[in-house]
Amino acid sequence: MARVLPLPRHTLSLVVENRPGVLARVSSTLARRGFNIHSLAVGPTIDPGLSRITVVVESEKVEQVKKQLHKLINVVKIFELEPSKAVERETMLIRISAMGTSRTEAIEVANIFKANVVDVGFNTLTFEVTGKPAKLNDLIELLRPFGVVELVKSGRIAIGRAAKSKPSRMRAVG
């Protein structure tokens, strides 16, 4: 079997008008143009008229992705967030099999990742953890031997990093 190289992932942050159907327009455009969605998170912004969609797309043609999304009338702005110049976070809820001593073992691992126990069942533990996507993946690997019963991820959200020194000229950022 031919090995298919994974497509590069890009985090796009979209400011969209807060109207019914906007998410459908965005996801439909991506599907229609053959761009894969890795994750998608949507929520309100401080301006009630605007929403934020953070979408991670897999494509070698990210410029084309951006341009096609820009054609949507309800999409106001698009930023591509470079991982090195952005804070990226995901939240994960992960339920594992854990009884007796394995419970303390699992909790020790989870503590290292600052994961909280949010639910305890007869033979399961559920952790909630927020972090960089890579960190969550590490935790999954460490918890895998216990037996992962259920895993829920939020989809990535991201924000660009602010300037670390006083800019030569102050500029308003929308």
Which residues of this protein are in contact with other proteins, per CB under 8 A?
Answer: 16-17, 20-21, 24-25, 28-29, 32, 63-64, 67-68, 70-77
Residue number with CB closer to other proteins (67 or 114) = 67
Sequence letter at residue 87: V
The burial of 10, by beta-carbon neighbours within 10 Å (0-12 exposed, 13-18 middle, 19 or more buried), is given as buried
3-class secondary structure, 55:
strand
Rg of the chain over CA atoms, in angstroms? 19
Residue number with CB closer to other proteins (23 or 117) = 23
Residue number with CB closer to other proteins (16 or 136) = 16
- In the bound complex, what is the minimum distance in angstroms from residue 172's beta carbon to other proteins? 15
- In the bound complex, what is the minimum distance in angstroms from residue 160's beta carbon to other proteins? 20
CA nearest 35: which of 2, 77, 69, 1?
69
- In the bound complex, what is the minimum distance in angstroms from residue 44's beta carbon to other proteins? 17
